[in-house]
Amino acid sequence: MTDHHTGQRTAPASGHCRLVALLALACGVAVGNVYFPQAVAPLVAAGLGVSPGTAAGVVTATQFGYAVGIFLLVPLGDRLPPRPLLVTLLTVTGTGLCAAAAAPALPALFAASVLVGVATVVAPLAGPLAAGLVPAERRGVVGGTLLSGALAGMLLSRTAGGALGDRMGWRAPYVLAALLTFLVALLLARALPPGAPPSPRPYGRLLAEPVRLLCTEPALRRSSFYQATVFAGFSAAWTGVALLLTGPVYGLGADAVGLLALVNAVTMFVTPVAGRLVDRRGPDTVNLVCFLVVLSSAAFLVLGGLGGNPGLLSLATGTLLLDVGMQSGMVANQVRVYALAADVRSRLNTAYMTCAYLGGSLGSWLAARTFGWGGWSSVCALVALLTGLGLVRHLGARSGRRPASRTAPF
């Protein structure tokens, strides 16, 4: 059966569930490659003899590479067949992870981390691919399945990376991630149909399209700015949490970061609820609530600096609110973005996700330096400041809802 919008063959009913599950696994493994360095950065510092703040640059390098990969490589999903594209990207990612595991010094680890980030962009490619592989009436369910896989990868990678790194050293999580990535590449090579690219557009035109859309679509600029600010705060908090838990206040191992991330698994069940709220109340209302939730998380997070069980409880509460607010805001922003034009959703998503991860890499970079300058409380203030920028922009958009507002710079 052929999908008339994408030109791809849809999987038969008996086989598409297995294929979608495999794509969800691929999303989880790929996204996990971006997030497990947050848990092992303190171990990198000890292993390579550098300061924790300097080692946290590994997180920044990976997220910056991911933003670059989204911009440069995701548009290829509209031009190249999916099987060779995904398998090649996963193979390059696995090679980069191996290089990171063998890195003799921090500069080599930084370079390998950028390569991993650039290549591990399977998740934003899998959504449009899965939509073309299943019947139209199943696309909503499939999208939710892929998002759950990505969230699971985000959470579990930090848990597994921290636990494994504490027991076997910081290189072990990179080796495990490489093995999983190569395994998923092999599975996709066997399971994905050959498929034809949806269109033969030149790469240069595909690359320029997200920039053009950012210039011409105010709703895309607004959504991208919202997610960039909140994701910057999210990345800043998680970078700082690793430094806090493994520092003198708590004196815990890297596995504590992973266990804290595991508490936030409830986020996987919250995003469908956020989607229903967006359907009923609209993305603007949900965005407002999410900004307020993330701001409130900063108040709980700052209490984490007290140490002891009260501090751990505050950290668990704060990071849970932070994750719920960030992920629910992403749902609202993507609904607004996808409503702009059905035929350019991949390129809209390229623009949106590039901005989001540029914000995330900036947040990680700022957190590493802010923590060294003013400690954990300054990181919490940074989270509040970054989120406040998005909230101020959002309140301005709600109060100035008139035709002239389309000329706003964001």
What is the per-residue pLDDT for 48? 92
322: CB partners within 8 A, 6+ apart: 233, 234, 237, 294, 297, 301, 383
Domains of the chain: 13-400 (1.20.1250.20)
d(CA 26, CA 16): 15
What is the per-residue pLDDT for 139? 54
Cα 151 → chain centroid:
9
What is the per-residue pLDDT for 298? 95
What is the per-residue pLDDT for 141? 59
Q: Which 3 state secondary structure label does DSSP give 2?
A: strand
Question: What's 131-174 look like in SS3?
Answer: HHHCCHHHHHHHHHHHHHHHHHHHHHHHHHHHHHHHHHCCHHHH
DSSP letters for 173-217: HHHHHHHHHHHHHHHHHHHS-----S----HHHHHHHHHHHHHH-
What is the per-residue pLDDT for 403? 46
16: CB partners within 8 A, 6+ apart: 10, 133, 134, 138
What is the per-residue pLDDT for 97? 97
Per residue of the chain (410 residues), what is the pLDDT tens digit? 444 444 444 444 445 678 888 888 999 999 999 989 988 988 999 999 998 888 888 988 998 999 999 999 988 877 788 889 999 999 999 999 999 999 999 999 999 999 999 999 998 888 767 766 666 555 555 666 777 788 888 888 888 888 899 899 999 999 999 999 999 999 999 988 776 655 667 888 888 888 999 999 999 999 999 999 999 999 999 889 988 998 888 988 777 877 787 777 777 777 677 777 777 888 889 899 999 999 999 999 999 999 889 999 999 999 999 988 998 888 888 778 877 876 677 788 888 988 998 998 899 899 988 998 899 999 999 999 999 999 999 998 776 664 443 433 33
